[in-house]
Structure 1
Amino acid sequence: MKNLVPEAKHHGCRIPISRAFSLAAFSAMTGLMLTLILGCGENRSSVAVAKKPPKVIVAPASAIPMTDYDEFVGRTEACEFVEVRSRVSGFLRSVEFEDGAFVQEGQLLATVEPDQYQAIHDQSLAMVELQKTKVELAASVLARSKKLKEGSAISQEQLEEDAASLKAAEAQITVAMADAARTALDLKYTAVKAPIAGRVDRALVTAGNVVTGGLGSGTLLTTIVNDSPTYAYFDVDEASILRYIRQSKSQSAEGDRKTTVLRDLNIPVELQLKDESGFPHKGTLDFLENRIDDRTGTIRLRGVFENDDNLLRGGLFVRVRIPTSEPYEAVMIPEAAIGTDQTYKFAFVVGDDNVAQRRAVTLGPLVAQPEGGSMRVIKDGIRPGENVVVQGVQRVQPGIKVDPQTQVKPTIEPEEVPVAAGEVE
């Protein structure tokens, strides 16, 4: 039976016409698809070329006066603290102060019943008078014995005994007077007085109770603290103290290096309480321990602060800072403008041609702003007044044009710049 399907020849082979038609249709469709793909690619390229520069927010680098500081934490302590104890035993007759009041040195605080001590003191005074009478008698006997000895009426031995009796009577006067002085002290101690001026605590013993005396074991009646001036104690690391020592040596004369004490150098120190911003309390360093703690590698420093407003109290947790540089003009940019590329920091600077330049920067201390956020001191890499990209950094590539939108220059008061030298990244 003959094949009724027409055939076509291709390279000497016979191919059915229907198959040849399918191949031609496939080729035509493939060409059409390639044309569409190429056309789409050209359109995309034209879109990419026509894309606008990315919008970014820029801010000028600020330049403000600044001083570098080292910051530490510590505790306050009163410059004077006294435990008021009873020096004699007896019944507490009265308490003469109000709890928490300010007292002056020598002010009467309490009294112990003095009747017994008054009687003992009177007795000791009477013994003094008795011994004086004995001395007068011994002196009279010795004078008479000397006259009798001139007439050989008594022996030399008797004369010497009378002279010794006079010396013994004189010594007994000394003993009696010493005892009278002791009893006078006991009588004096029945009136308990403030040894220093300051703020008194509450009365720990009320009137009518028995108190015991003694230098170390006497009954504790109350305590007094003097908070003006106030001390702040804090521990400083080994590296910082070595830097301070070198600075102090350079400031003192060669011959005074061994004799100069810390307070003579007038090194300023500032203090901040827990609820304060900034460091409003000004003082000076006045004491340094004589050795470094080998367990912690730190040494204790003390700053002294005037406390005219009586705000500072002993035992407060505080932050203190010590200036480590002279005032200088610091270049600052927002912390958000700084990027990280493995081992170094960078920021994008936009010039007059709106082209972004990538600048490697050397970071300084981090500065907190009162309104929130933080600024970073730039030691090298950016000059004051240059526009820095602060928002949209992720859309910027080195060398591309950007559409900069200016941000208002941040304002930072120099006295509101708490800088810690240890915060440099």
Structure 2
Amino acid sequence: MGAYLLGVVLFALGIAVTIALHEAGHMLTARAFGMRVRRYFIGFGPTVFSFRRGHTTYGLAALPIGGFCDIAGMTAQDPVTAEEAPHAMVNKPWWQRVIVLSGGVITNVLIGIIIIYGIAVSSGLPNPDVDTTPTVGEVSCVADQLDAQTLATCTGSGPAGQAGVTVGDRVLALDGEELADFGQLRDKVLTMPGEDVVLTIERGSEVLDITVPVGSVTRLDAEGRPYTAGAVGLTNAPLENTIINYGPVEAVGATLSFTGTLLEGTVQGLMAFPSKIPGVVASIFGAERDMEGPMSVVGASRVGGELVERSLWEMFWLMLASLNFFLALFNIVPLPPLDGGHIAVVLWEKVRDFFRRLRGLAPAGPANYEKLLPLTYAMAAALLTVGLMVIVADVVNPVRLFG
């Protein structure tokens, strides 16, 4: 329990540091271009403590679920004093505004890259070319499930063993469909109790087709309810060469390559995000929680605790890197109040003024953000609602990596 709580606290602290550095990215780039930073706060709501240094008030608020960097004149509707006007963001060149608005996103990406590089040189990164073809590590009988941890006693070699499958066989396909990994084989067999399947086996230099009658066994779902499932009595052999260790120089290329893979997965996750929300709501009322669904700070910290409890520090740091990539890509979604929404407005101003020049007109000046207030409020309300639902789900039905 002590290790679990340590992991929860450390991951929550990692999230807080991530938020702090995201906002610092905005603050430092703003100052680099001579913009006035009024406030730099971690959290929202009532102020816990604050102090002032120069023109900036630094503080911690009661709800550490975000943060903000208040830059004078972020929009034309933001009042500025005569003394602030030369330092107002809205009066700076468009490209400087875009860089400042992107500062947090860039910081999150850099944090993720640094974490991955540290993993690469300390404990190694997953091998992208590992052979995941299902390889038989054990042939056994099949038995009913008695509870979450126990199977009934059984004897014999099981359906696959009786059909002629042996340890060391590589299972290339099931009923002619190629298999990417053992999980795919298991999931397909699970839905075929009482049927015959043809396993395409590679044994040395031979490729064989072996017909295996799928056994029918009792399994328990997440709520402990029994159902009939298929089983053939095969266990996967441990994968080999799954981790590659890198030296300081080699790790640079490996880090960039692995970062690209994680960013690609993050984009796919963001695209699937809206479709995952109904499942989160259903999980609040007892439905099975999707392991790949969204998690809040609460849920991510609990998972961090599970990883530390089992000394899986590499996975702990990889999850924190993934979180930084998610925050980066989520923030560039071109909708207010996200950073991407503000960037979209600045770019729209630039495109609009380009076409005005073609027509011999003067630039129209900064956009009127008051017209965007309904969309901003709607997006803020939607994000708050979704965030609260995910937090509730993480409390009443959290994601558990290890059962």
Tell me: higher relative CO, structure 1 or 2? Use CA pairs within 8 A at least 6 residues apart.
1
Pair member with larger Rg: 1
Q: TM tier, shorter chain?
A: under 0.3
**Could you tell me the TM-score, scaled by structure 1's length?**
0.21
Query: Larger % of strand: which?
Result: 1
**Could you tell me the TM-score, scaled by structure 2's length?**
0.21
Query: Larger % of helix: which?
Result: 2
